[in-house]
Amino acid sequence: MTYLDEILKSRRDTRHFTEDQVPEAVLEKALQAGHWAPSVGLTDATKYYLIKSGEMKKAIKDLFLDYDKKAISLTDNEQQKQAYKDLKLEAIEEAPLGLVICYDRSVLNNFTIGTVGSNEAVKFSSVCAAQNIWLSLTEQGYSMGWVSILNYYQFKQLLGLPENMEPLGYFCVGKPATDYDNQPMLQQLNWKQKQEIPLVEEITILHENKVEKVFFDAKKETDAATFANTLQHKIDQKTKPTGSLGVLEVLAKQIGMVFQTLEPKIIKPNLVVFAADHGIANHGVSTYPQDVTRQMVSNFLIGGAAINVFCKQNKIQLAIVDAGVNYDFPMNTDLISAKIGKGTRSFLQGPAMSKTEVELCFMKGSEIVATIAKKGSNCIGFGEMGIGNTATASVLMSIVLELPIEDCVGKGTGVNDAQLIQKINILKKCIDNYDGLEDLDSKLAYFGGFEIMQMVGGMLKAKEENMLILVDGFICSVAFLIAFKKNPSITKNAIFCHSSAEQGHQKILDYLGVRSLLQLDLRLGEGTGCAIAFPIIESAVAFLNDMASFESAGVSGR
**Closest to 146 measured CA to CA, from 123, 169, 166, 126:** 169
Tens digit of pLDDT per residue, the chain (558 long)? 689 989 998 999 999 999 999 999 999 999 999 999 998 888 889 999 999 999 999 999 999 998 888 788 778 889 998 989 999 999 999 999 999 999 998 887 777 788 776 667 888 999 999 999 999 999 999 999 999 988 877 898 899 998 788 899 999 999 999 999 888 888 888 888 888 888 888 888 887 766 667 766 655 555 678 899 999 999 998 888 999 999 999 999 999 999 999 999 999 999 999 999 998 988 878 878 888 999 999 999 999 999 999 999 999 999 999 999 988 887 778 999 999 988 998 898 889 998 989 999 999 999 999 999 999 999 999 999 999 999 999 999 999 999 999 999 976 666 677 888 888 999 999 999 998 899 999 999 999 999 999 999 999 999 999 999 999 999 999 999 999 999 999 999 999 999 988 889 999 999 999 999 999 989 889 999 999 999 999 999 999 999 988 776 666 665
Helices and strands in the chain, H and E counts:
20, 10
Strand order in the sheet with 165-174: 46-51, 97-104, 165-174, 143-147
Q: Which long-range contacts (CB under 8 A, 24 or more apart) does 372-378 make?
A: 372/270, 372/272, 372/319, 373/461, 373/462, 373/465, 373/467, 375/268, 376/267, 376/268, 377/267, 377/268, 377/269, 377/270, 377/317, 377/467, 378/259, 378/265, 378/266, 378/267, 378/268, 378/466, 378/467, 378/468
Instruction: Check residue 352 and give its pLDDT.
Output: 92
Burial 196-218 (b: 16+ CB within 10 A, else e): eeeeeeeeeeeeeeeeeebebee
Instruction: Check residue 139 and give its pLDDT.
Output: 96
User: Cβ contacts of residue 276 below 8 Å, gap of 6+?
Assistant: 293, 322, 323, 324, 325, 340, 343, 344, 386, 389, 449, 450, 451, 452, 454
| Cα three-residue angle 450-456-462, rounded to 5 degrees | 135
User: Cβ contacts of residue 549 below 8 Å, gap of 6+?
Assistant: 234, 237, 238, 239
Q: Are 352 and 324 in contact (CB under 8 A)?
A: no
- Cα–Cα distances in angstroms (integers) from residue 530 to residues 179, 307, 319, 362, 458, in the given order: 56, 9, 14, 22, 16
User: Cβ contacts of residue 4 below 8 Å, gap of 6+?
Assistant: none
User: Cβ contacts of residue 44 below 8 Å, gap of 6+?
Assistant: none
Instruction: Provide the CB-side half-sphere exposure for 411 (13 A, CA).
Output: 12
**158 SS3 class:** helix
Q: Using CA atoms, how far apart are residues 352 and 109, in angstroms rounded to an integer?
A: 14
Instruction: Check residue 92 and give its pLDDT.
Output: 96
Instruction: Check residue 152 and give its pLDDT.
Output: 78
Q: Using CA atoms, how far apart are residues 265 and 261, in angstroms rounded to an integer?
A: 9
Instruction: Check residue 410 and give its pLDDT.
Output: 78
**Closest to 104 measured CA to CA, from 44, 157, 39, 45:** 45
Strand order in the sheet with 379-385: 335-337, 317-324, 270-276, 379-385, 468-471, 494-496
Q: Which of 359, 526, 538, 551 is catalytic?
A: 526
CA 511 to chain centre: 28
The kind and range of the H/E element at 381 are: strand 379-385
Q: Using CA atoms, how far apart are residues 305 and 316, in angstroms rounded to an integer?
A: 14
Instruction: Check residue 421 and give its pLDDT.
Output: 87
Q: Are 531 and 314 in contact (CB under 8 A)?
A: yes
Please say if 526 is a catalytic residue: yes
Query: pTM of this prediction?
Result: 0.74
**Closest to 456 measured CA to CA, from 516, 384, 511:** 384
Instruction: Check residue 118 and give its pLDDT.
Output: 67
